[in-house]
Chain A
Amino acid sequence: MKRSGVDLLVGLFVLLGFAALVFLALRAGNMSSAVGLGPTYTTIARFDNIGGLKPRAAVRSAGVVVGRVESIRFDDQSYQAEVSLALDQRYKFPKDSSVKILTSGLLGEQYIGLVPGGDDQMLADGDRITLTQSAVVLENLIGQFLYGRAAEGAPKQ
């Protein structure tokens, strides 16, 4: 086969291969949403219990993804979990907004729900969100329910 013919075929093969890689990363994977968030600002929230929250979990307000969980670390001064949230620069939220850890579906992935407050001041980079609500831990809930039933049943005996 002629030189240029081989080059053409090899070039085609390489381009096809890279196109497949890009397809897998962008269309099948989540690279587009990971990169597509644009510039962000970081706020910090402390929770007593984060349940199964993981880094890169979504931050949603009114159900729309407005940011992602950047990192989670344990603060050994207050014995709380310190979660930093990267929020999309396009969206501004009042300073007294509250965050809570929610679960999508009954057993789905955990995400952070952001409920806007009524303050005139807006959250800026490095600010702390003070109003937080921890994750609902199913075991605790069942425990509470059982104790509640036991307490109800006790006087009737």
Chain B
Amino acid sequence: MSRTLLPVAWLLDFVAATGRATRFFLRLCWLALASIRRMRLVVDQVHFIGNYSLSIILVSGLLIGFVLGLQGYYTLRRYGSEEALGLLVTLSLVRELGPVVTALLFAGRAGTSLTAEVGLMKAGEQIDAMEMMAVDPVARVLAPRFLAAVFAMPLLAALFSALGVLGGYLVGVAMIGVDPGAFWSQMQSGVDWLADVGNGVLKSIVFGFTVAFVALFVGYNAQPTPEGVARATTTTVVSASLAILGLDFILTALMFSST
């Protein structure tokens, strides 16, 4: 191929890769719906993905709540509006930090293990063996994991936000001494359950799809060698994190532009 055609070839490759990824995504979504019949497998995966991520999610949620409480208090005190601390902590958590930080942690905690697991299955030729036995590995191995991750992610994000609010309460009210009544009432008057909480949940569902898809796609297409699996795991964290942050910008612009 001549040198001038190189960009064209690269572009064609890119378009083809996008098409392959989209086809894989749609196939995963369809098979994930079908895997509801294999509830056992899905429950096992929720246990593996969700329960094992609980500790890191809960502890980070609480700590982020502490930090938000402290920093928010220092800034709000200048304007004499410490009572708005509850509102500040909750809105930042529910709208942004809850879904985004949970998704980033989730990509690091659960996404990598999914990629490594699927990649090693491929390296150990287990995937090939399944195909030989006429078992579709995407339906048997990937789809339950996809469904479990999509299901676990919003729950983890909600737990993260709830623990964060609690952390903000502990620092703001118990430690610094903001009035507890004002803390909660300002929060309740400023946080809309549909526009804020609902959109946050929607965000976390989208991020669940993103992380699960990236992790499984990268794992399934990994080079079946030890280095290939190592590289795939790194790729999962980097791509998933960038995708989450990029998507978050778009989703925020779509959801909160009117207010």
Q: Which residue numbers of A lie inside 8 Å of B, CB to CB?
A: 6-7, 9-10, 12-14, 16-21, 23-34
For B144-160 the 0/1 string (1 means CB < 8 A from A) is: 00000000101110110
Are B201 and A29 interface neighbours, CB within 8 A?
Answer: no
16 contacts between A and B (CB under 8 A): A9-B51, A10-B46, A16-B155, A16-B159, A17-B50, A17-B159, A19-B162, A20-B155, A21-B154, A21-B155, A24-B200, A28-B165, A28-B188, A29-B188, A30-B193, A31-B193
Are A17 and B154 interface neighbours, CB within 8 A?
Answer: yes
Is B67 engaged at the interface, CB distance under 8 Å to the other chain?
no
The residues of A that contact B197 with a CB separation of less than 8 Å are 21, 24-25, 28-29, 31
Are A34 and B193 interface neighbours, CB within 8 A?
Answer: yes
Are A20 and B158 interface neighbours, CB within 8 A?
Answer: yes
Assuming the contacts A17-B158, A18-B155, asked whether A30 and B191 have C-beta atoms less than 8 A apart, the reply is: yes
Are B189 and A21 interface neighbours, CB within 8 A?
Answer: no
- Checking B43, B51, B162 against A24 with a beta-carbon cut-off of 8 angstroms, the contacting residue is B162
Q: How large is the interface on B (under 10, 10 to 19, 20 to 34, 35 or more residues)?
A: 20 to 34
Q: Which 7 A-B pairs have the closest CB atoms?
A: A17-B155, A29-B193, A31-B193, A20-B162, A20-B158, A21-B158, A20-B159
Residues from 137 to 184 in B contacting A, C-beta threshold 8 Å: 152, 154-156, 158-159, 161-163, 165, 184
For B44-60 the 0/1 string (1 means CB < 8 A from A) is: 10110011001000000
- Checking A10, A20, A28 against B51 with a beta-carbon cut-off of 8 angstroms, the contacting residue is A10
Is B13 engaged at the interface, CB distance under 8 Å to the other chain?
no
